[in-house]
Structure 1
Amino acid sequence: MRETYYVGAYWLARRESAEACAQRAESFFRLLASCDPSLAKWFRKGRTLKAALKHRIASDAASLSEMFTQQAQKEGRLADDGFSLRGWNGEIHEAASSLSILCGDASVWVSNLCLYHPPEEGPAQQRVLQAPVLARILRAMAVAFEPEWGVATSDEHRQLVSDSSKAGTFVGWLMYFSHRRGSLPPLPAPIQVEPVEDKGTLVILTPERFTASNPAHVELARDVAERLAQAGLLTPLRPWET
């Protein structure tokens, strides 16, 4: 069975202005473009492929701020509702990848997020679904958005180990933990642990592609989950401290 993957970063209840969210998104797009050529341009979805390709998403802060402001006015959003963006990389069918961002939402019930779905097949998929590239993507999310938690893993593995809709409660192929969640315990080989500036820590379970169909991978994730749970790092997300 072919597994599908995603990279996501999550945080709760952090109200920010359109300008602040635009600055974060600009930083993210700049960092993301350096991860792989397929991540350099994004488009809004349209009724047809031809129409959609005419609406490239401008990645500079001024344009993004204007878009977020117009979105709030058009949709009648409240100040606490945050700003959203959805994009697609211009490819079709299984070669397509998608991106979703929700930033600035003050709710304790709806998670702010940055979510990326890589292609399901093709050359871009083979390049992206490698630990070093996914690490750069997750690092870009962490640096730009300062989330509380992030993960890169397969949908199948998430379904296998997580029966909760609350982010931050399971172990995936790669994970990001903000320092505000606490300190990581010692972790066994072959796990790699890397600092992300002064913001948090990136954890990579295995350098090879992690799959839910590999018993050794599943057992490694289970062992790490026990260690992280004992350290209090797998609790649900908490509202941002102001």
Structure 2
Amino acid sequence: MSETYFAGAYWGARKETAEECARRAEAFFSTLREVDSSFSNWFQQGKSRKDALKRPIEPSRTSLEEIVRRGRDRVFEDLGFRFSAWNGAHDDYDGSSFNVTCGGFTDVVCNSCVFDLPSRGPNAERVLTSKVISRLVRSMAIAWEPDSAVGMSSSHLQMIDKGIPFAVLPGWVTYLAQHRGTVPPLPAPVRIEPVEDKGTLIVLTPERFTASNPEHVALAERVRELLDRAGLLKPLQVQP
């Protein structure tokens, strides 16, 4: 079975209104079409594919605020808002979707934007490259201003996840916010890039990272050790 990949941005407690979350969502949608052509159109998820295709998302702030408000937790205000989107791909394996939790200010959940990426097909061939994954992680970092973000192999995540709550786990492409500290020098072929004045993007390999490649896994572990030693991988602080 081929490896699957995802991208996720994660941040701690941040109380935000539906309007503020919609502003960030609008910024995110506006950059997605520049990341890849398959990210140009989005739909609200429905009971079926046919139902979802009848519910296109208008990426304006007013429309997005309405969607965000509908995702408000009706019982616990501190859980924030939730909404999701799907790109309407004909083939489920070649499709993408993402889920957002924003405006939460509790120690129960973490705010996040998590992207399920295509696993095979023409979209997957384009998207699963360091260039496109880097663009996606960068766009999430700019729009949502998370503490950390990552684009990585799900198999690699299973290898390194130790079950620590709200852990920061680096992957193929990793973003770390500036307030977490300074990224140390890292071994070749790792590339380090600034993300405006918000943080740093770390790209492990120019080719597709695979958990089945021992050299990739060894490089990832070396980078993880260096980042951890520099104090950059402390778990997210989710309490207000």
TM-score by length of 2: 0.95
Aligned counterparts of 2:164 and 2:116: Cα–Cα separation in 1: 18
**Is the Cα–Cα contact under 8 Å of residues 109 and 238 in structure 2 kept in the other structure?**
no
- Determine if contact 1:162/1:169 at 8 Å carries over to the other structure: no
| Pairwise CA distance, 1:168 | 3.9
Structure-2 residue corresponding to 1:223: 222
Query: Could you say which residue in structure 1 is the equivalent of 2:129?
Result: 130
Deviation, 1:170, is 2.4
State the distance in 2 between where 1:69 and 1:77 align. Answer: 14
Could you tell me which residue of structure 2 aligns to residue 190 of structure 1?
189
SS at match of 1:176: strand
Partner deviation per Cα, 1:194-224 (whole Å, 9 max, x = no partner)? 0000000000001000000000000001111
The aligned counterpart of 1:59 is 59
CA distance in 2, matches of 1:166, 1:29: 29
User: How is 1:1-242 mapped onto 2 (pairs within 5 angstroms)?
Assistant: 1-72=1-72, 76-91=74-89, 92-164=91-163, 166-239=165-238
1:5-44 deviation digits (Å, cap 9, x = unpaired): 0000000110100000000000001111111110011112
Identity %: 46
Q: For residue 183 of structure 1, give the secondary structure of its aligned residue in structure 2.
A: coil
Distance in 2 between residues matched to 1:162 and 1:60, nearest whole Å: 37
Report the AA paired with residue 66 of structure 1.
E
Give the superposition deviation at 1:76: 1.8
Distance 1:176 1:168, change over 3 A: farther
Distance 1:35 1:98 in 2: 14
| Number of corresponding residues | 239
Give, as a single letter, the amino acid of the residue that structure 2 aligns with 1:196.
V
Distance 1:240 1:149, change over 3 A: farther
> What SS is found at the alignment partner of 1:80?
helix
- The separation in 1 between residues aligned to 2:96 and 2:169, in whole angstroms, is 24
Post-superposition offset of 1:98: 1.0
Query: Structure 2: which 5+ residue stretches go unaligned?
Result: none
Question: How much has 1:77 moved relative to structure 2?
Answer: 4.3
8 A Cα contact 1:7 1:150, kept in partner:
yes
Give the secondary-structure state (helix, strand or coil) at the position aligned to 2:35: coil
TM-score between the two structures when normalised by the length of structure 1 = 0.94
